[in-house]
Structure 1
Amino acid sequence: MGSEPPEPGADDGATSAAAIDGGSLERGTIDLADVVGPFDLQSTLESGQTYLWDRADGAMYDDLGAHGGERWYRTVVPPIDGVSGERIAARVRQVGGVEDGVLEWEATTDATSVLTHLLRLDDDLESILAATPDLPVVERAIEAYPGMRLVRDPPFPCLISFICSAQMRVSRIHGMQRRLAATYGDALEVAGETYHAFPRPDQLAAASEEGLRDLSLGYRAPYVERTARMVAEGEAHPRDAATLAYEPAREHLTRFVGVGDKVADCVCLFSLDHLEAVPLDTWIRSVIADRFPECDRGTYDGTSRAIRDRFGGEYAGYVQTYVFHHLRSGGE
């Protein structure tokens, strides 16, 4: 999730090297009637949680109040422990309502389990929303975006995305990740379309700081290169934090270059299943100042604990994400 205000414009990066894969796409559907609680694809993917998907029409993040659309979204998913042993190129769209619609998918292999994992279709959203606190701003946010869920992004791409997020609008963060993929990631030619995979740690570690700056990463360029090198050389990996309790996990992630508490909280929440995490970005700090000043304890740790309690504890990250998207989109 991004921070405001925006930075100046950026140039597009160069296209990546030759394609590595070919073949056709399998097709299938996921019936949302079989999912516990509602689901809305557009608000889930365009609410500032993830920058690893793209819209086929090129309009990703153009609409601040994104929800309820039927556009195709596509991504390349690396192998996921316990879910998939291979890299998958996939695209998905939602047809119909948040309770009774379907997700139509096309992918290089059966994508049902991968999409269930990435889009948290395995969450009991009914129970999660029932556990949210009785606060007007929370109620308005949930009412505005029915079916929005958290994402479960792969740890390394998630980490890099949020290292790039400082002082950036979400559309600019997304553009950065697309340029990184197009310049340093693999290109997969599938059914006449090119899918750009997010770079592996070794691919980003081999990038020069100058090359990353050419993609408008600015001062973030050395952070990205050095963090990628840490992962590529086996010094540390963000997925290791998944086995830790929440606060130790956040602390573990701050060992990466360019990662403070807020970025670490984003990775905890949007990748590592720590659903209590509340990233203290510009919007949430404004909510604290305007509505819950008693939660401002003067330190990140203290304020984080206080607002987590105010937002309901176990699923405070869900509350945070609803409130963030609602306020960023002009809600009150």
Structure 2
Amino acid sequence: MTSLLPVFRSLPLHLVQLSLSAVLKCGQSFRWTILPGASQDDTEYWLCLRDRVVCLRQSSNTLFYRAVYPDPQPAPTQKALRDAETLVWLNDYFQLDIDLAALYDEWTTRDPIFAKIKSRFQGIRILRQDPWENLVSFICSSKNNIVRITKMVQALCTHYSPPLVSFPGEDTAYHPFPPPSALAEPGVSATLRSLGFGYRADFIQRTAKMLVDAHPQTVLVHNHAEASEKWLMGLRDRSTREAREELLKFVGVGRKVADCVLLMSLDKKEVVPVDTHVHQIAVKHYGLKSASASGGKKVAMTPKLYEDVNSKLFNVWGEYAGWAHSVGGMQPESESFFQFLTSFPFQVLFTADLKSFASYGLPTPSGSSTPSIPSRAVDPIVLLPTPPMTPIPPQLKRPHDDTAIDMLKKFDDDFGVTSLAERVKRRRRSA
């Protein structure tokens, strides 16, 4: 439990680079708790990591952030280092080294369809999530919707991970995502079935056991990644084909789920997850030759058709094809959340296809108002300075100042061998 809410720090960041209200609601991640305020600027977004809860707010040109730690609270000198670590995590998780405005401009010149929705759906980018959490979340996504997936993921946390932070007088406790070892025991399947996971319960337990058996760890260290999680993280350094082949070995993982994990946690930005709806979009808007099906039935998604659709959309959007799809899924034509989950020119386009975003980016009708919902989110913002991390971006890459990263070298990392700071630097060296 903690009774302390720290003051916010601020990071200059325009909505065209990141829109929390779009990115955190449309089916990439399923653990963000949203605390609505009297206005959009008051809304807070909370996510529990291994050792802290990250809290975000946003205005038109600033991202506000703070981290809440469990008791006992860190000493002031330690807290400064941990706050610097939070900033590095934000840059890594939201991939803020990528200039999203430049990508939007590129997709606009390549694709007249994208140009039509660009102004309504600004700030939609692909998250760089933890691969283990991302894998389990998308195993849950089979024949499912965002609301049910969110409930399942939250149930995994509350049943298999102890609470990290809670507040006096509140029912909500914040739980980290459980590690593979917590979900690998045989009894997990029966418990998950009782919680409404259905056939996905066996998929999750068996996948966790496969990972733990293949990458055993004799000593589990609190707040550190397990050996199996580090192995999954290492797939970022493998080729797309090799990483996909490894993912397809797990129970409940087909081509589409594997591609979602490749895109959203393993840095394979060119990957476009494909389903029948994506195929329909490729045929309707991008000139893909239509496959025939008898009796008006949906076309079966064969491996060849999957590759044809993926190749077509990559040729339209280019290197960041996975990213572009995220915006298009916000169009209010279908309830399929996977329509959002295909990639970033396609990620953009699929976000535009979600019913929940039917009025996103449109003017608020006159006479309407946003109801005031009492919550902890409406406290005043008190700011501390933030070390500079993202100077002026050249082309698509936004370079970082190394001040906060250098501070983190003094800090024990959450991932054992490779620190978050070093992983961020390694990404830059390989770019």
Paired residue type of 2:309? T
1:142 is matched with which residue: 108, 114, 118? 118
Task: State the match for 1:274 in structure 2.
Answer: 268
Q: For the residues of structure 2 that align with 1:92 and 1:275, how far apart are their CA atoms?
A: 25
3-state SS of paired residue (2:173): strand
1:83-232 aligned at under 5 Å gives the runs 87-94=51-58, 96-97=59-60, 100-108=61-69, 109-110=82-83, 111-132=86-107, 134-192=110-168, 194-206=173-185, 207-232=187-212
Between 266-275 and 285-294, the greater mean CA deviation after superposition: 285-294
Q: For the residues of structure 2 that align with 1:202 and 1:46, how far apart are their CA atoms?
A: 29
Contact 2:184 2:205 in 1 (8 A): yes
Q: For the residues of structure 2 that align with 1:196 and 1:283, how far apart are their CA atoms?
A: 35
Task: State the match for 1:18 in structure 2.
Answer: none
Moved over 6 A (4+): none
Q: For the residues of structure 2 that align with 1:295 and 1:52, how far apart are their CA atoms?
A: 39
3-state SS of paired residue (1:212): helix
Paired residue type of 1:327? D
Q: For the residues of structure 2 that align with 1:247 and 1:145, how far apart are their CA atoms?
A: 31
Contact 1:241 1:249 in 2 (8 A): yes
Task: State the match for 1:313 in structure 2.
Answer: 319
1:67-82 aligned at under 5 Å gives the runs 70-78=42-50
Paired residue type of 1:53? W
3-state SS of paired residue (2:353): helix
Q: For the residues of structure 2 that align with 1:154 and 1:141, how far apart are their CA atoms?
A: 30
Between 177-186 and 119-128, the greater mean CA deviation after superposition: 119-128
Q: How far 1:296 moved relative to its partner? A: 6.3
Q: Which runs of 5+ in 1 are unaligned?
A: 1-20, 59-67, 79-86
Q: For the residues of structure 2 that align with 1:70 and 1:271, how far apart are their CA atoms?
A: 29
Q: How far 1:160 moved relative to its partner? A: 0.1
Q: Which runs of 5+ in 2 are unaligned?
A: 70-81, 216-227, 292-303, 323-342, 360-431
Task: State the match for 2:387 in structure 1.
Answer: none
Paired residue type of 1:291? H
Please list the CA deviations of residues 133-163 of structure 1 after superposition, one character each: whole Å capped at 9, or x if unmatched: 5324322333222112211110100000001
The answer to whether the aligner puts 1:51 opposite 2:30 as a matched pair is yes
3-state SS of paired residue (1:270): helix
Q: How far 1:57 moved relative to its partner? A: 5.1
Paired residue type of 1:311? W
RMSD: 2.7
TM, length-normalised to structure 1: 0.79
Task: State the match for 2:380 in structure 1.
Answer: none
Q: For the residues of structure 2 that align with 1:230 and 1:181, how far apart are their CA atoms?
A: 20
Q: For the residues of structure 2 that align with 1:36 and 1:45, how far apart are their CA atoms?
A: 14
Q: For the residues of structure 2 that align with 1:270 and 1:223, how far apart are their CA atoms?
A: 20
Contact 1:278 1:308 in 2 (8 A): yes
Contact 1:205 1:226 in 2 (8 A): yes
Please list the CA deviations of residues 272-307 of structure 1 after superposition, one character each: whole Å capped at 9, or x if unmatched: 111111111354233123223526684323332222
Q: How far 1:183 moved relative to its partner? A: 1.2
Identity %: 27
After superposition, the Cα gap between the structure-2 partners of 1:36 and 1:295, relative to the gap in structure 1 and judged at 3 Å, is farther
Please list the CA deviations of residues 184-237 of structure 1 after superposition, one character each: whole Å capped at 9, or x if unmatched: 112113454621111111111125211111121111111100111122233464
Please list the CA deviations of residues 5-46 of structure 1 after superposition, one character each: whole Å capped at 9, or x if unmatched: xxxxxxxxxxxxxxxx7574544323234x795221111111
Paired residue type of 2:198? G
Q: How many residues align?
A: 291
TM, length-normalised to structure 2: 0.62
After superposition, the Cα gap between the structure-2 partners of 1:30 and 1:315, relative to the gap in structure 1 and judged at 3 Å, is farther
3-state SS of paired residue (1:31): strand
Tell me which structure has the larger Cα radius of gyration. 2
Paired residue type of 1:322? V
Paired residue type of 1:89? V
Please list the CA deviations of residues 81-128 of structure 1 after superposition, one character each: whole Å capped at 9, or x if unmatched: xxxxxx32222121x21xx23323333241211122112222211222
Q: For the residues of structure 2 that align with 1:36 and 1:74, how far apart are their CA atoms?
A: 19
